[in-house]
């Protein structure tokens, strides 16, 4: 375990939005160092979707940092809570998920989460283990500890209440269940996104009420997506999935706007705080080329998710395509054979559509007129071009800078 209190606090604090309360954290960490007794750091994940993206890894990274400092993670799979769905930030009730879906999601979710976490220091539990055994009486007991007024302090509930939108009583149960999770695992610290602040605080209150030491709530900011403004989300299409190919991740990270780069360093890497400050300074002063820092960022992220080998390969491929404008090594093949019926020639527009390079003839024509189409590096100028099929085998069809297909005719 890291014995230096200052250092621990600095690492824990890196990138956080809020720590409630800092004072308590100092005491509890100091205590754990003296007694050599690792803290129990809780993180609850609701498997409501099968895949996670970098936005989800922000809290996972923080948890990993705790582990690297010598603490233990308690990862709670919210299989029970997922059925209801966290109403945080929601303006309406969300549809219930089936148990089957939840189990399936939980599987892929965990696999992806352990790309970040240290399994040796992770206790994995499902909250159905304790929640499903509560009797109605137990639940009444729990609900009596909370008030409607307190619930309505939460912004999204307040808005809905004022706006005369429905709030199901069940939705009030969500924060209570999450709070009870903290009691069940006796958490010392709970991590969550800023949207979780209310729920984390409820955990504190319930623990106090039930005679436990209240957990410290550590909240992390919401990660911006590749567009640099909206939060990262699948539906906005600005996400980087942890299961994407390394080369894809590399490119996507390189495409984030420069001004959110330091946020990415703080939230997605586990570099030492001094290193991050240095990078930040360099960028501010303009003394270092931002693209070099961004390359480093891309490599680190791929290293965490895959390996340093994969990171290196991804970077090489990136250079190949963008720096030297060459053709990458592994190109998706496209079998033309099935698409042709007895003809010996094919119209270039048709070839583009058949290979999936263009959605319609119109788009194909457009691409040609914009000078975006190349065959083996040679620009196609004429949209009426007819090609001998036999001459096309293994030729590289290119659209724009970064889309390649190898044509196979055998």
Partner RNA sequence: GGAGGAGUGCCCGAGUGGUCAAAGGGAGCAGACUGUAAAUCUGCCGGCGCAGCCUUCAGAGGUUCAAAUCCUCUCUCCUCCA
Q: Tell which one of 320, 403, 406, 408 touches RNA (CB under 7 A).
A: 403
Closer to RNA by CB, 129 or 322: give it: 322
Phi and psi torsions of 376, nearest 5°: 45, 40
Q: Does 255 bind RNA (CB under 7 A)?
A: yes
Q: Tell which one of 254, 276, 331, 408 touches RNA (CB under 7 A).
A: 254
Q: Tell which one of 80, 198, 250, 265 touches RNA (CB under 7 A).
A: 250
Cα 258 to Cα 241: distance, rounded to the nearest angstrom: 20
Q: Tell which one of 227, 263, 278, 312 touches RNA (CB under 7 A).
A: 227
Q: Does 262 bind RNA (CB under 7 A)?
A: no
Stretch that binds RNA, among 140-148, 215-223, 284-292, 301-309 (CB under 7 A): 284-292
Residues between 97 and 116 with contacts to RNA, criterion CB under 7 A: none
Q: Tell which one of 13, 89, 141, 237 touches RNA (CB under 7 A).
A: 237
- Shortest distance in whole angstroms from residue 280 CB to RNA: 14
Long-range contact list for 146-151, CB < 8 A, 24+ apart? 146/172, 146/175, 146/176, 146/202, 146/205, 148/172, 151/175
Q: Tell which one of 121, 128, 347, 395 touches RNA (CB under 7 A).
A: 347
Q: Which of these, 110, 128, 12, lies nearest to 66 by C-alpha position?
A: 12
Cα 229 to Cα 214: distance, rounded to the nearest angstrom: 35
Q: Does 89 bind RNA (CB under 7 A)?
A: no
Closer to RNA by CB, 140 or 165: give it: 165
Whether the CB-CB separation of 318 and 326 falls below 8 Å is answered with no
For residues 36 to 75, the per-residue mask of contacts with RNA, x marking binding by CB under 7 A and - elsewhere, is ----------------------------------------
Closer to RNA by CB, 144 or 287: give it: 287
Residues between 105 and 164 with contacts to RNA, criterion CB under 7 A: 163-164
DSSP letters of 319-384?
IIIIIS----SS--EEE-GGG-SS-SEEEHHHHHHHTTS-SSHHHHHHHHHTT-EEETTEEP--TT
Cα 187 to Cα 190: distance, rounded to the nearest angstrom: 7
Q: Tell which one of 56, 204, 252, 299 touches RNA (CB under 7 A).
A: 252
Cα 279 to Cα 91: distance, rounded to the nearest angstrom: 39
Long-range contact list for 383-386, CB < 8 A, 24+ apart? 383/348, 383/349, 384/347, 384/348, 385/347, 385/348, 386/345, 386/346, 386/347, 386/348
Residues between 287 and 306 with contacts to RNA, criterion CB under 7 A: 289-291, 294
Closer to RNA by CB, 255 or 376: give it: 255
How far from 246 is each of 243, 263, 393, CA to CA, in Å? 9, 21, 29
Closer to RNA by CB, 198 or 264: give it: 264
Closer to RNA by CB, 84 or 358: give it: 358
Q: Tell which one of 28, 363, 395, 406 touches RNA (CB under 7 A).
A: 363
Q: Tell which one of 145, 386, 395, 408 touches RNA (CB under 7 A).
A: 386
- Shortest distance in whole angstroms from residue 408 CB to RNA: 21
Cα 364 to Cα 56: distance, rounded to the nearest angstrom: 38
Calculate helix-pair angle for 54-68, 261-268, nearest 10 degrees: 50
How far from 276 is each of 9, 91, 264, 315, CA to CA, in Å? 16, 37, 10, 21
- Shortest distance in whole angstroms from residue 349 CB to RNA: 7
Q: What does the binding site for RNA look like in residue numbers (CB under 7 A)?
A: 163-165, 227-228, 237, 247-248, 250-252, 254-258, 289-291, 294, 318, 322-323, 347, 349-350, 353, 359-363, 365-367, 370-372, 384, 386, 399-403
């Amino acid at each position: 375990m890291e014995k230096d209190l200052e250092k621990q606090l600095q690492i824990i604090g890196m990138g956080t939005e809020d720590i409630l309360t800092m004072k308590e954290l100092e005491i509890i960490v100091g205590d754990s160092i003296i007694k050599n007794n690792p803290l129990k750091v809780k993180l609850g994940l609701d498997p409501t979707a099968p895949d996670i993206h970098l936005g989800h890894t922000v809290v996972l990274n923080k948890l990993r940092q705790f582990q690297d400092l010598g603490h233990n993670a308690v990862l709670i799979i919210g299989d029970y809570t997922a059925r209801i769905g966290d109403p945080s930030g929601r303006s309406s009730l969300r549809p219930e998920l089936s148990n089957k879906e939840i189990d399936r999601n939980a599987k892929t979710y965990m696999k992806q989460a352990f790309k970040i976490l240290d399994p040796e220091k992770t206790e994995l539990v499902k909250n159905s283990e304790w929640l499903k055994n509560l009797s109605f009486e137990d639940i009444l007991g729990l609900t009596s500890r909370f008030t409607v007024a307190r619930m309505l302090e939460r912004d999204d509930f307040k808005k809905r209440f004022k706006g005369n939108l429905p709030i199901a009583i069940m939705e009030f149960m969500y924060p209570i269940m999450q709070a009870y999770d903290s009691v069940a695992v006796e958490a010392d610290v709970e991590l969550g996104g800023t949207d979780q602040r209310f729920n984390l605080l409820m955990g504190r209150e319930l623990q106090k009420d039930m005679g436990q030491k209240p957990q410290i709530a550590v909240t992390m900011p919401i990660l911006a997506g590749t567009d640099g403004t909206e939060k990262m989300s699948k539906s906005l299409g600005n996400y980087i999935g942890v299961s994407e190919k390394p080369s894809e991740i590399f490119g996507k990270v390189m495409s984030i706007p420069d001004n959110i780069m330091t946020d990415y360093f703080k939230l997605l890497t586990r570099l030492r705080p001094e290193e991050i400050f240095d990078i930040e300074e360099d960028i501010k002063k303009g003394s270092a080329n931002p693209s070099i820092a961004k390359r480093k960022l891309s490599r680190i992220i791929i290293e965490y998710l895959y390996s340093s080998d994969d990171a290196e390969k991804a970077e090489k491929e990136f250079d190949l395509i963008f720096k030297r404008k060459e053709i990458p090594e592994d190109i998706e093949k496209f079998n033309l054979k099935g698409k042709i019926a007895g003809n010996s020639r094919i119209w270039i527009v048709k070839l583009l559509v058949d290979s999936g390079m263009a959605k319609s003839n119109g788009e194909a024509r457009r691409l040609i007129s914009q000078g975006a189409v190349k065959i083996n590096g040679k620009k196609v100028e004429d949209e009426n071009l007819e090609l001998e099929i036999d001459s096309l085998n293994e030729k590289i069809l290119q659209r724009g800078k970064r889309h390649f297909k190898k044509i196979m005719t055998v």
